[in-house]
Structure 1
Amino acid sequence: MTFDVAFLLSTLPSFAAATLMTLKVGCLAIIASLAVSLLTNAALVLGVPGAAVTVRVYVELARNTPLLIQLFFIYFALPSLGVQVSGFASAIIAMTFLGGAYLTEVVRAGVEAVPKAQLESGQAIGLGRLQLLRYVVLPQAGIFSLPALFANVIFLLKETTVVSAVAVPELLYTTKSYIALYYKTYEMLAVLTGVCLLLFLPLSLLLGHLERRLQRGHYGF
């Protein structure tokens, strides 16, 4: 058995495109998940009727069903109900459904960590509920949530490998395609491992550094 370096190098442009797709899916899902978590926690803090039960049901449903099952339901089941969803859109929706639940719990823990004295002080100077949420609760909850938030960012980016199941041309899909066509298993796994290390390790180090800087107040927090 020989390791075909020339073939490996010839696949790099395809893996570069797959990396961009991975980042596109992951970043869109992370942004959407964060938006979901802010909306759910805002509803909880503001005491919207029925919010507590609805959010709890959503979180438990999302966290206790596999992402692959959620993805298959959106991609294969919804068309039978007359709703056509592309593989890319299915990937974003499924990852947002899962990621939103995890980030909801992350932000909720941060909200609960805000000292009650801060809320009482805000109320004492006449801040309304929305003003308390905007100026007191969310800024502090964001800082408290940073470690778990950044950990979930990495988690969601790595979960993009699941979307290869609905033919989204990300890293794992590209790897499996080359293996199926050329039987270059070791070469493709080597590229996949290398790309993942180059992608996730620097990001993990960067987020860790950013977390430490933010928690020390170097950026005005």
Structure 2
Amino acid sequence: MSWEVIRQALPLFEKAFIVTLRLSAVSVVLATLLGLVLALLREYRVPVLSQISTVFQELFRNTPLLIQLFFLYYGLPSIGVKWSAETCAIVGMSVLGAAYMCGAFEGGFSGIPRVQNESARALGLSPLQMIRHVTLPQGLTRSVPAVAANVIFMVKETSVFTVIAVPELTNTARDLIGMYYRSDEYLLMLVVAYAIVLIPLSIILTLIERRVRRGTFGDD
């Protein structure tokens, strides 16, 4: 184990760390928004769109991210659609994440007593008003544990981006090992880098989940 090797590799890992954070953040935001829309379409059984949402969820939950990335990066150019590696990574992770987020939100919505929706209809609330005043406030709270688990899952899955040469953490470690054959140092840096991201993120999400369960979220 050479600390000099680690010191020399730090700038490359710093760049890869930033790339991983950026791709993770963008993908999580897009996946959460898309997943929420898909779940609402299914919750309110919107004609045609709810069926499309079901097909979307089943398709992307049951196909590996690796295959999706290969299709986006290597398959689409054959029909004239060429995206950068980072764009393919974001699109692939976002649609995969949206499929899982949809399930998470559905689980939250299903926990809302049906009598509340019936009461809202009896009061004459429109579907949009029901979403705003009944479905979202309670459904999002109930969805927090599953959404948090999906966020952690998505950050871990960024390691798959190496197959399309995105310069994230895993790809950087692999390239350095291939060039200098110092696997101990670079693998240690890889583990530490992911730990720096995932451990604080896990703690923050756990605290949010506990606070939501206690019903005190946003009291401060």
Please state which band the TM-score falls in when normalised by the shorter chain. Answer: over 0.9
Question: Aligned match of 1:6 in 4, 7, 21?
Answer: 4
Residue of structure 2 equivalent to 1:57: 55
Stretches of structure 1 that go unaligned for 5 or more consecutive residues are: none
Q: Distance in 1 between matches of 2:103 and 2:217?
A: 25
User: Secondary structure of 2:104's partner?
Assistant: helix
Shift of 1:69: 0.4
Stretches of structure 2 that go unaligned for 5 or more consecutive residues are: none
Aligned identity (percent) is 39
Q: Partner letter of residue 29 of structure 1?
A: S
Q: Distance in 1 between matches of 2:25 and 2:75?
A: 25
The question of whether the paired residues in 2 share the 8 Å contact of 1:107 and 1:145 is answered with yes
Q: Distance in 2 between matches of 1:219 and 1:97?
A: 29
User: Secondary structure of 1:11's partner?
Assistant: helix
Question: Aligned match of 1:103 in 101, 104, 111?
Answer: 101
User: Secondary structure of 1:85's partner?
Assistant: coil
Shift of 1:220: 4.2
The question of whether the paired residues in 1 share the 8 Å contact of 2:208 and 2:217 is answered with no
Q: Partner letter of residue 24 of structure 2?
A: G
The alignment's C-alpha RMSD in Å is 1.3
Q: Distance in 2 between matches of 1:219 and 1:70?
A: 37
Shift of 1:135: 1.5
Question: Aligned match of 1:22 in 20, 23, 30?
Answer: 20
The question of whether the paired residues in 1 share the 8 Å contact of 2:43 and 2:106 is answered with no
The question of whether the paired residues in 2 share the 8 Å contact of 1:102 and 1:152 is answered with yes
Residue of structure 1 equivalent to 2:110: 112
Q: Which runs of 4+ in 1 moved over 4 A?
A: none
User: Secondary structure of 1:203's partner?
Assistant: helix
Q: Distance in 1 between matches of 2:172 and 2:136?
A: 40
Aligned counterparts, 1:165-204, within 5 A = 165-204=163-202
TM-score, with structure 1 as normaliser: 0.95
Q: Partner letter of residue 114 of structure 1?
A: I
Q: Distance in 2 between matches of 1:98 and 1:78?
A: 17
Residue of structure 1 equivalent to 2:88: 90
Q: Distance in 1 between matches of 2:39 and 2:28?
A: 16
Does 162-171 or 10-19 show the bigger shift? 10-19
Q: Distance in 1 between matches of 2:123 and 2:50?
A: 28
Q: How many residues align?
A: 219
Shift of 1:121: 2.7
Residue of structure 2 equivalent to 1:39: 37
Residue of structure 2 equivalent to 1:205: 203
* 1:156 matched to 2:151: no
Deviations 1:60-82 (A, max 9, x none): 11011110000000000000000
Q: Distance in 2 between matches of 1:220 and 1:190?
A: 39
Q: Distance in 2 between matches of 1:109 and 1:121?
A: 21
Q: Distance in 2 between matches of 1:57 and 1:125?
A: 34
The question of whether the paired residues in 2 share the 8 Å contact of 1:46 and 1:130 is answered with no
The question of whether the paired residues in 2 share the 8 Å contact of 1:91 and 1:163 is answered with yes
